[in-house]
Amino acid sequence: MAELAAYATSPLAFIFRYIRLRPVSHGAILAAVLAAVVCSVCTQYGVKFLVDTLSSGASAAAWTAFLVLGALIAADNLLWRIAAWIANYAFVGVTGDLRRDLFSHLMGHSPSYFSERLPGMLTSRVTATSNAMFTAENMFMWNVLPPCVATVAAIALVLTISVPMAATLMAIAGIMVFAMFRLAAAGRPLHHDFAWKAAAVDGEMIDVVSNMSLVRAFGGFLREHRRFDATINREMTARQRSLFYLEKLRIFHALVTIVLTLGLVAWAIMLWQRGDATTGDVVLACTLALSVLNATRDLAVALVDITQHVARLSEAVATLLVPHELRDDPHAEPLVRRGASVKFEHVDFTYPDGQRIFQDFSLSILPGERVGLVGHSGGGKSTLFALLQRFYDVQNGQVLLDGQNIARVTQESLRAAIGIVPQDISMFHRSVMENIRYGRPEASDDEIMQAAFAARCDFIEQLPQGMRTIVGERGVRLSGGQRQRIAIARAFLKDAPLVLLDEATSALDTESEEAIREALTHLMNRRTVIAIAHRLSTVRNFDRIVVLQTGRVVQDGPPDVLMRREGIYRQLVQREMDRLAQQAA
């Protein structure tokens, strides 16, 4: 979906992209609507034909005129229903195509994109774009196109009464439509401002609801009410400005249309007085005048409404269709697994906000080696994990996995070779089984049970529905330790050659930690393991300890060797031992 980014500044081209995906159904709808509008306008000519026939006293011809009028009325109504029936499939199908594409594009963004934006605002924009597209298509087909075609057809019928009258009507209608479009375009900044503030309301609301426990803990109800009230007030002010501008547009249209309609009828009456028009012509002029009045009024309302919806769509598209920062190389090939060796070669990395982490950083890890990363916060441990998973690209140097530059292999194959147990456990609002199965979707139920057993997830038996229990949003119905063990089970199931452990036992009590350590020992067997550890007992039996400080390796070696040397690692271990002694006392 990388090509979607090309539409970020072209909302109309974005709309036509999805119309072109269903050309037959949209063509059928257009043909039916055009035919229905023509029949609707011609119905008024049928009334004129019937009036003139009755005035002439030809009783036989009157029934012919009646049949013509009846056929036009029937065709008018049935064609609308045919168009609407097809539209129910086509327009809804477009919203499905659009949401699928936007969701796919959204998933391709880097972590920095999501860290800078409210999740609720992003999801609301996907929905808003879909709704705006559906409304825009409906309004154009039912409210914009028909009055335009009806006005043209009405002018064509006025030609049968008076050529000068038709020419005058055409000139005035053209000027008015041009003026309406220009005025509607001039109000676009107001509509965009409203669209932005409306999206902000959704984002604020979801942000507060998703953090309701924090709001309760700190007594923030009143503060959040005030904050939300301010957001609502800004949105209401922007909406009022947008609506009042549209209302001015409608008033201008109403005044012009009144003068135009009365002038057309008066002109027809003067032609009748001079004998240049029949009674039916006067009736036709009256009905056409009313048609033009209603058509252009509907057009004015539709134009201003569709302008708002297109503004909301363009604002959402501009936000969602930002080009992906991380893309597969055009010549990227799947990663070839050869034992999971890891190497950072002269890496320079600075975050998008300008925070520099690594400069000329190098580190090598052999296949099957277990390496613990320790050090004070801000040293670069989490960044090293992020770069290894290619959540960001390095500015200089390269990161190699099994001797292959990870920037030159497909992201899917790279992530498939890495199993991770994170500190902040991510869980879906799904069952326990589904959350474990996410590690390997094709796994059988038996394999999932084995992974859960290996991760010591014995608590599952006490859950209300066992493996079928829904864990709640982000696993809120489980304890921290339970969530972590499910994450470990997920890593067992994935069976990747490289395992990343980010404080894998931080949320467990001492007894649970011992049980999990046995499971992790089995998980780490014949695999390359890199573990971030603040609880140093987690890595006491590892092959190597790498101490990071301000993006540099300051110590590197076996744990027992580092313990015999003065340095940061020995200080951290001593501090942990003192803390445990105080707790025991």
Whole-angstrom Cα Rg for the chain: 35
Q: Give me the chain's average pLDDT, please.
A: 80
CA distances from 386 to 373, 417, 542 (A): 14, 14, 22
Q: Give the burial class of 313: count Cβ atoms within 10 A of its Cβ; 0-12 exposed, 13-18 middle, 19 or more buried.
A: buried
Which residue type does 26 have?
H
Can you give the pLDDT at residue 1?
Answer: 46
- Whether 313 has a pLDDT exceeding 90, the answer reads no
Instruction: Give the span between the Cα atoms of 583 and 585, in whole angstroms.
Output: 5
Which CATH code is given to the segment(s) 2-320? 1.20.1560.10
Q: Write down the domain spans for the chain.
A: 2-320
Q: What is the pLDDT of residues 464-490, one digit of tens each?
A: 888 888 887 777 788 777 888 888 888
Q: What is the 3-state secondary structure (H, E, C) of 530-557?
A: EEECCCHHHHCCCCEEEEEECCEEEEEE
Which one has a higher pLDDT value, 300 or 387? Answer: 387
Residue for token pair 């109504």: 77
In which band, very low, low, confident or very high, does the pLDDT at 24 lie, cut at 50, 70 and 90?
Answer: very high
Per the confidence metrics, is the pTM higher than 0.75?
Answer: no
3-state SS, residue 198: helix
Contacts of 239 (CB under 8 A, 6+ apart): 194, 197, 198
Can you give the pLDDT at residue 99?
Answer: 86
Mean pLDDT of 402-409: 90
- Give the DSSP per-residue string, 326-376: S---TT-BPPPPSS--EEEEEEEEE-TTS-EEEEEEEEEE-TT-EEEEE-S
Q: What is the pLDDT of residues 160-200, one digit of tens each?
A: 777 777 777 777 777 776 776 677 666 667 766 776 777 67
Instruction: Give the span between the Cα atoms of 310 and 316, in whole angstroms.
Output: 10
- Calculated CA dihedral for residues 510, 516, 521, 525, nearest 10 degrees: -160
Half-sphere exposure of 97 toward its Cβ, with a 13 Å CA cutoff?
Answer: 18
First to last CA, the chain: 60
Count the neighbouring beta carbons within 10 Å of the beta carbon of residue 230.
11
Q: How far is CA 354 from the centre of its chain?
A: 27
In which band, very low, low, confident or very high, does the pLDDT at 210 lie, cut at 50, 70 and 90?
Answer: low
Instruction: Give the span between the Cα atoms of 175 and 253, in whole angstroms.
Output: 11
Which one has a higher pLDDT value, 107 or 529? Answer: 529
Instruction: Give the span between the Cα atoms of 374 and 534, in whole angstroms.
Output: 7
Which one has a higher pLDDT value, 153 or 100? Answer: 100
- Candidates 212, 191, 204; CA nearest to 232 is 204
Contacts of 7 (CB under 8 A, 6+ apart): 13, 14, 17, 317, 321
Mean pLDDT of 342-363: 90
Which one has a higher pLDDT value, 2 or 150? Answer: 150
Mean pLDDT of 359-388: 89
CA distances from 399 to 396, 413, 553, 566 (A): 10, 15, 16, 31
- Residues across the chain: 585
The answer to whether residues 390 and 396 touch, using CB atoms and an 8 Å cutoff, is no
C-alpha angle 207-211-216 in degrees, rounded to nearest 5: 130
| Consecutive H or E run containing 205 | helix 188-210
Q: What is the pLDDT of residues 38-50, one digit of tens each?
A: 888 778 777 777 7
3-state SS, residue 175: helix
